Each structure stands twice: as C-alpha cells, then as structure tokens.
Chain A
C-alpha cells in the first residue's frame, strides 16, 4: 500500500492540468440536453479527442492513451477541478466503448470506437421499456431475422441522450419462445433510420435528457449485433456492472461538489448552526470515503480482482451522497433554493438532477436486492 502518487502519475496529472487550463471554455456551456448545448458539447468532445483526452483509458489505436484506471481517476480529478463541460457522449465512451472492447469483433472495434472517441457519433441508451423498468428482463421489443437484417419493432423509454444522439444501443428479444433473460440480443442502431420515431420526454428540470423511441419495422444489418445472438443479457449486464461500479460517476465529481459545498458554507452558512457544520462534514467524509473506496476497487481490478455485485453498493452510496450534498446546499442558500434561474441556480439544478440518481441504472430497491442476494447470499424473494 502506498497512497502517494508515483512520479509518472504526478507527471500525468500535470500534463492533464496544463492542457485543461489552456482549453476549458471560460464560461459554462448550455445544458447538453438542449439543441444548442448538445452541438457545443459535441464540439468540446472533438477538442478533447484532438488532444487525446476524450478516452484516456482506451488503447492508443482507438484514440486513447492506454492509461490505467488510476490515471483515469487522476484525469477525472483534474477534469472536475478545471470545471470542464459535462460529457455528452458518456453512454458511448464510458459504457458502450468498454463493452465493445470486451465482446466486439475487430471490425466492430475499428468501426465504432474511433468515431465514439471523437464524438462524431454520440450514443444514446435504449434499454428500458414501458413495462420493463426495474424488471428489465421483461423486454418485449423484438428483432426478427430477415436475411442479413434484423427487423426491429417495439418501444423503448427513458432513453438517455436519445433526443439528439446519432446512434443507440439496446437489447431486443430475438427468440420469441425464450423467456426472461434468455433470447435477448444486444443491437446497435442508427437513430435516423426509416421507421424510428423519437419522442422527447421533459425531465423534472424541464430539459429533454431522455426520450421514447418507437421502432416500426426498422431494418438493421445483423453485423450490428454486439456479442452473440440470444446472449444479450450477459452483454448488457457487463455494461451495467461497469456503469454502477466505477465509470458512471467518478469520485472526482463528488469531491468537486463537496469542495464547492464547503466554500458555500464558508460564504453563506450560519456558523452558529453546529448541526449544519456537522452535516457538511458528514458529506465531506462521504465524498472522501467514496474516493478512497474507488482507489481501492481500482487497485483490485489492476491486480486481477474484478468488481462484481459490490458495484451495487457503490451505486447506492454515490447517488444518496449526491442528493445529500444538494439538500445541504439548498438549506444553506435559503430563498434562492426556490429559483430555477439566479446566481445559485447550479445548486437548484443539481438538486433536481441528483434525485434521478437513486432511480436510473437500476433503482435503489433493485440494488439492495442484488446486494442481499449476491453479496450476502440471502434467499431469493419475490
């Protein structure tokens, strides 16, 4: 155990910091869940890609730097420290990308990874359906084989980024006889094909960060299948594990948020309110605990101990922490907490966004079941 940075890691941090200081836009971009913001964020991703910072943990041949997970965490720390824009293509770069590297063919890697790293193609998710949310294995959307094509029919919902994204990835039922987790296939699909209708859904904050996608006899070549036919559940779960576990919410995001919260408390907090000071300290410890826990997890991954169902613990931890950070901030800012536009709007918007955390990528109820069943080995219920 040595929790100090190596010379190499420190040099990497400095390189990232220097580049970000020179390149991060001075003023924040509009939300990427607006048409204008989406375009500006795509431009920013291209700039990151040109500097080879868009996917630092990817191999160099696909536009990355071959950085290990520790360096990825260092990059994330610098990224949030610099106040850089949100990652509009996170569904692609952090979720689908690693899955393609794990199960994709060489042709698929060549075809999809470089355009993903540059955000020439921005990816949306198409997993949930109106009747398959927490019960994701209840998926009914179908893909029927017709020669060299799949013909897709059905409806997806809560599809993140789908309003302006170029492609989506999702799971479809390819064996109508098979039940539940069997007979599903992971398919990649352009969103501008005939037969596709994307209907934006306004989120709690009013932006259209997700959408419904209707598939009406949509034709996709079978070469867009990721992994084996009828084995899509396993492919999807690999993605979900990575999402819940490490990549979706890097600790840097929360370290940066609690640092802002401490600064807010110093500026506006009632110093005679010891309960408030305790609350700020508590979330500071949570963010620090999450950071340390992640470094430990990542060291384990580098040493050949992959993350399993414990990923569900992370997801509950960070999402509850995020809500708590913002609850305390709103307590401090008082009347400003009611305003969607104003000098402290970022905290209000952040609060609304934080409330999605305990729901998306598997609700808390589902995560607790996973922990109880797979980590604590309690008998299956339901």
Chain B
C-alpha cells in the first residue's frame, strides 16, 4: 500500500503549473472569453508540445502512454489555471479512444481538435472550435453549430446539426467516455477550487475594513477554512479513482462517482465562500474570480452532478 505520486509524476505536474503560470494567466483566459472563441491556439500548441494532450494515448500510436494516475495531477493543474478550450475532452477521451483510428495521428499530434458529446445534454461544449465530435458510437465532422450562449466563456456551448458520420466505439482503457470525463472533471474541479481559495486568501490579506485586513476576522477565517476542508477531503478519493481506473478495479464506477460527487460539492462550496469573502467586487465582471467560479458551475453539472453520482454510489453501498 503506497498512496503517493512518484517524483516524475510530481515534477511533470509542477512543470505544467509553471507553463500555465506563464502561458495561461487570467488575462489570457479573459481574452478568449471576450474574443468569443473560448480557445487559445497558442496555449493548445504549448500543451501539445509538452505532451499533455497525448498523455493517455498509447506510445505505439505516438502518445505518452500514461495512465490515469499519471494524468490526474495534470487535470488538476489545468483546473488551477482554468484552461479554456476542449483540453479535457481531447486529452481524457478523444485522443486515447481514437488513437488507433484514422483520426488518431492528427489528434495525438494536436493538429486536429476533438470535443465530446457523450452525455444526454442537448448542447455540445467547444463544438465551435472542434474539428470533430466524438459521439457515443460515431465521429462527426463538418457539422453546423449554433451558439447556445454558455455562461463560461472558456467552455462555449453549441447545438450541433448535420455532419458526416464515421462509426467508432470509444473506449479509454476500459472506461466509458462519460466516466473518464467525470474523473477528469473531478480533478479539474479540485484545481479550480484550490485557485479560488488562493485568490480569496490573497484578497483577505490585503483588503482592509475596520482598520484591519479582513482575513484577521474569524468569520472570514471560518468561511475559508471550511472551504479548504471540503477541497482537501475530495483529493484522496479522486486520486484513488485514478488508481482504480489505471488497474481496471472492480470498484471503478463507484470510485469515480464518489470523486465527482465530492469534487462537485467542494467546488460549489468554495465558489460561494470565496465570492462572499470578496464582497461587492466578487459580484463583478472585472474580478478574476468569475473565470474560475463559472467554470466550476459548468463542470459540477457536467458528466453527472453530485446528486447523480451520489445515487450511483448508493447503488453500490446500500445494495
């Protein structure tokens, strides 16, 4: 029994954090929101170059050949930076699932961009910038999109019609694409939550009222420490789910659902608390907090919300 990441895994995640600190600051996220694309080709190229996008694709197809344990801290780092565009969809599902198809080479190289439509939502996230959409049993290309006005400018929503179909059976190392995305989203939500807490803690250190930094008031300390508690206790279940995915454990579905339920609730609690700590400025377009909050509100509902996943856990635990 050994519940820790290797030095290589930690170093890779630290490298990604550094890359994103430089290449994906809040100003970049805000730019892609405001220019209407929800995607940055330059950032995409950086992530491709580092091997992030192809982490889960097999080495035989030109990928990094990593497992979900190798990828889970990367999902978390992507969340810390609120990375826009179909990065999770491409990385966690499309590239590995289609690696051995005719689409594989350009997906793994990052030359073409894929997004997913594997839930029962009428909307497809990121379809406006995607070359192909992986659906339940086929791939769509040359489709038409209509903007559905998603709240998160880094995860734009569309309705999709038409397109050319190619049959495909997506399978990511034994995982259903929906479950793979639930797992990736759980880690991304944890990263978002960590960043929201950092932003609010920094604000609480400098914002003064009654002649003191507001972070010295117990009411503010409690809001912050209660949020941190939920986030910290969502981490180990998420890492465990990644391990279960990497070995195809019998408890895989239960473990992923537990992770997504806990991470979704932690992220929502964190968004409420950190916005409250900001006061009026938290309710503005100008504050960077919204970039992280809105992403968390989008992802906590995607690929199963906390209720859906809790009921799935119930099915195993109370059976």
Contacts and interface: CB of A to CB of B under 8 A. Distances in A.
A282 B310 contact: yes
Interface string A271-285: 000000110111011
Nearest to B70: A1
Contacts of A369: 218, 221
Nearest to A321: B233
B237 A289 contact: yes
A365 B225 contact: no
A281 B228 contact: no
A248 to B, nearest CB: 17
B189 to A, nearest CB: 15
Interface residues of A, number: 49
B262 A262 contact: no
A343 to B, nearest CB: 23
A296 interface: yes
B250 to A, nearest CB: 12
A346 interface: no
Contacts of A286: 233
Contacts of B220: 372, 378
A265 interface: yes
Contacts of B313: 281, 284-285
Interface string B217-252: 110111011101100111111011001000100000
B212 interface: yes
B95 to A, nearest CB: 23
B93 interface: no
Interface in B182-209: 197, 201, 204-205
Interface residues of B, number: 45
B310 A278 contact: yes
Contacts of A380: 216
Q: Which of B5, B221, B222, B258 has the most CB of A within 10 A?
A: B221
Contacts of B201: 376-378
Given A266-B318, A285-B313, A313 B232 contact: yes
Contact of A1 (B197, B226, B239, B261): B239
A106 interface: no
Contacts of B234: 289
A300 interface: yes
B3 A299 contact: yes
Given A285-B258, A371-B225, A371-B228, A292 B218 contact: no
A9 B228 contact: no
B225 A3 contact: no
Interface in A276-312: 277-278, 280-282, 284-286, 288-290, 292-293, 295-296, 298-300, 303, 310
Q: Closest 6 A-B residue pairs measured CB to CB?
A: A372-B221, A378-B215, A292-B236, A381-B216, A371-B225, A379-B216
Interface of B: 1-6, 69, 197, 201, 204-205, 212-213, 215-218, 220-222, 224-226, 228-229, 232-237, 239-240, 243, 247, 258, 261-262, 307, 310-311, 313-314, 317-318
Given A376-B221, A379-B204, A379-B212, 15 more contacts: A1-B2, A1-B4, A3-B2, A4-B247, A285-B237, A286-B233, A292-B237, A292-B239, A296-B3, A313-B232, A313-B233, A379-B215, A380-B216, A381-B212, A381-B221
